[in-house]
Structure 1
């Protein structure tokens, strides 16, 4: 299979002759998130004295804390687009391995008992053929040996794409959009996994229903995140 479909770097597309994953040249230029960071969502902030980013400073979120691998700028944006819309599913394995490498200790320190993917509506899942968040969560679960709650959270109704909406519209768009399975037994601490974090509206809404179901603390981990400042 590797002769027919050789592994390539998700950022430059170059064939990897030795192993799989991110090539050395791309790794050196990835938009990593440096300190100082927002104490809640992990977005970069301007000064050490600034505790919260613009979004976290003006509203209270239901989740407790979150982290992301990289900023949502090229070439990360292109790689995520390829994963979601061009069926580059194996990119999810690479990104999940990066999550485990960089945030495995952070996850364990928070006593995470279950990893939960942000769900797609069934109509969107049929159209795309897979849920990229579920692919990430499944591989991260394998890497860290933490159970995955594949069907813990589900979408009640289809929502408009969040990227097309302003802050007020995002909140309205996600009201009563998520539910928790009645068969699911809530653990104390969970980790939500998704591809992108922007304003936090989706993670916030899911966190609300999880805490209503009995979860004590909700954390999140994504591939990329917007810039806070």
Structure 2
């Protein structure tokens, strides 16, 4: 009961505070005023990456690219209201659980949080479905200097089924912040297939040019 109440209170607070971008009007849409909301680099379509259809809210362009970077690397967690608001603009059907993109324990220690988990938790409240984290990610090595095939193989080896996982869902939604080549989503999809998932969809806040 407490988390949904807290989330509702945060949304109400942002609706009466000035817009996070311009500061001129009230933040009517996920902490933004109507004008700033309208001028976001909207996409609201699907892109194909690694034979996966990925629902995307925006182009990876200003100001969303900067917002994602600040949220991800600079602990600007107040942007979760806006970023979740973008994800809510997409259509999700017959999904039993949300699977946030896992990060390694090393990355988790560096950042202090997994940005995809934060977004998944907020979206799960909206969709009334659980967040499921059955996959662990091993140490993430630099991909510089690797060929495309070497990069794909390296990423695939990073994803392992969590030994303590006992839950099973067949229809799941993979969630990440930005999709570029789709290599991470492909590796996560393959790991979920091993767990018996049969309908695996994907969504991201933004799509970067390949």
1:200 and 2:166 equivalent? no
Q: Distance in 2 between matches of 1:164 and 1:22?
A: 41
Aligned to 2:113, the other structure's residue is in SS state: coil
1:14 and 2:23 equivalent? yes
Q: Where do 5+ consecutive residues of structure 1 fail to align?
A: 44-52
TM-score when normalising by structure 1: 0.74
Q: Where do 5+ consecutive residues of structure 2 fail to align?
A: 1-9
Q: Distance in 1 between matches of 2:27 and 2:57?
A: 23
Q: Distance in 2 between matches of 1:131 and 1:116?
A: 12
**Map of 1:108-147 to 2, 5 A cutoff?**
108=93, 111-147=94-130
Question: Which one of the candidate residues 54, 60, 69 is aligned to 1:72?
Answer: 60
Pairs aligned (count): 194
The residue that corresponds to 2:92 in the other structure is: 107
Instruction: Describe the shift of the 1:190–1:134 C-alpha distance in structure 2 as closer, same or farther (beyond 3 A).
Output: same
Q: Distance in 2 between matches of 1:140 and 1:163?
A: 33
State the Cα deviation string for residues 156-185 of structure 1 (Å, max 9, x = none): 23232x688663343133031011224232
Over the residues paired in the alignment, what is the CA RMSD in angstroms?
Answer: 2.6
TM-score when normalising by structure 2: 0.81
Q: Distance in 1 between matches of 2:193 and 2:116?
A: 20
Instruction: Describe the shift of the 1:85–1:190 C-alpha distance in structure 2 as closer, same or farther (beyond 3 A).
Output: same
Residue 26 of structure 2 contacts residue 32 of structure 2 at CA under 8 Å; is this kept in 1? no
Residue 159 of structure 1 contacts residue 177 of structure 1 at CA under 8 Å; is this kept in 2? no
Residue 153 of structure 1 contacts residue 180 of structure 1 at CA under 8 Å; is this kept in 2? yes
Q: Distance in 1 between matches of 2:64 and 2:144?
A: 17
